[in-house]
Amino acid sequence: MSILVNQDTRLVVQGVTGREGQFHTLRNRAYGTNVVAGVTPGKAGQDVDGIPVFNTVRDAVEATGANTSMIFVPPRFAPDAIYESLGAGIDLTIAITEGIPAHEMMRIYTHLRRGDQQLLGPNCPGAISPGKATVGIMPTDVFAPGRVGIISRSGTLTYQISKEIGDLGIGQSTVVGIGGDAIVGSSFIDILQKFEDDPETDLVVMVGEIGGDEEEKAGAFISANMTTPVVGYIAGFQAPAGKQMGHAGAIITGSSGTAQGKKDALEAMGVEVGTNPTEVAQIVSRRLG
């Protein structure tokens, strides 16, 4: 069945006429994603390689039935782009843009919790259901259809672990990057629940990193609510305390949020954790029998 993106995805790209927006839009379409529209204010009536461009997301939805949006606009315009997507009734919004201020995301997060629409990101690589559809910037050649779901805060580690398990002949049902910022639209728990409900996902790999307590919250959720087995990985075992590493959310404060602390907490709640991507792949292979 896959989650989030599939053959029913009808994608509109906000910022489609920009260099990055156009490049990744055409890559997504080449993979098989049904890209039905693009949006750039003031450029209605134009097209990008046959993809019609509209002034607003609402116009695109009314004309094409778009149900998913991908956002490639500069940070200062991205919050408005997210609100526009939500206001037009888009089911899933994927914000690739990085650099959105935390206080803007606080407002967006609060707004999201009033309804049932989904946001991935910001500062995320998107989502892919191998062989069906991709929305985002993931390198599609490292994925293959299968029955392992992957959810990650890190784009690069998502690709690495997917390749490691792929080298063992194990494919993925859906791979989801939620973004590495301190405040993102979807949590581990939000996506874990979708994998739990997916009959085509037999095991989930959760890729976390230092900073915050989202992995520990996810561990408690897994212990109480999931029958689908989950394997974990935490990036940042060598990270020094008090130094931000990579993502805005990846910072250790005092003794909180360390890789070892997260590993210990997750394993106490029944989630086996690998210490490197190769070990994670070996655990996945063993758990699948």
Dihedral angle, C-alpha 165, 167, 168, 173, nearest 10 °: 40
In sign, the C-alpha dihedral spanning 282, 285, 288, 289 is negative
CA max distance for the chain: 57
To the query of whether residue 24 is one of the catalytic residues in this protein, the response is no
Integer Cα distance of 277 and 165 in angstroms: 9
What is the helix (H) or strand (E) element at residue 282, kind and residue range? helix 277-288
Please list, in sequence order, all residues whose beta carbon lies within 8 angstroms of the beta carbon of residue 77, skipping any fewer than 6 positions away: none
If you write DSSP's letter for every residue of 88-130 in order, what string do you get?
A: TT-SEEEE------HHHHHHHHHHHTTSS-EEE-SS--EEEET
Integer Cα distance of 277 and 267 in angstroms: 17
3-state helix, strand, coil in the chain (%, to 5): 35, 25, 45
Closest CA to 192 of 148, 224, 226: 226
Which amino acid, 65? G
Residues with catalytic roles: 247
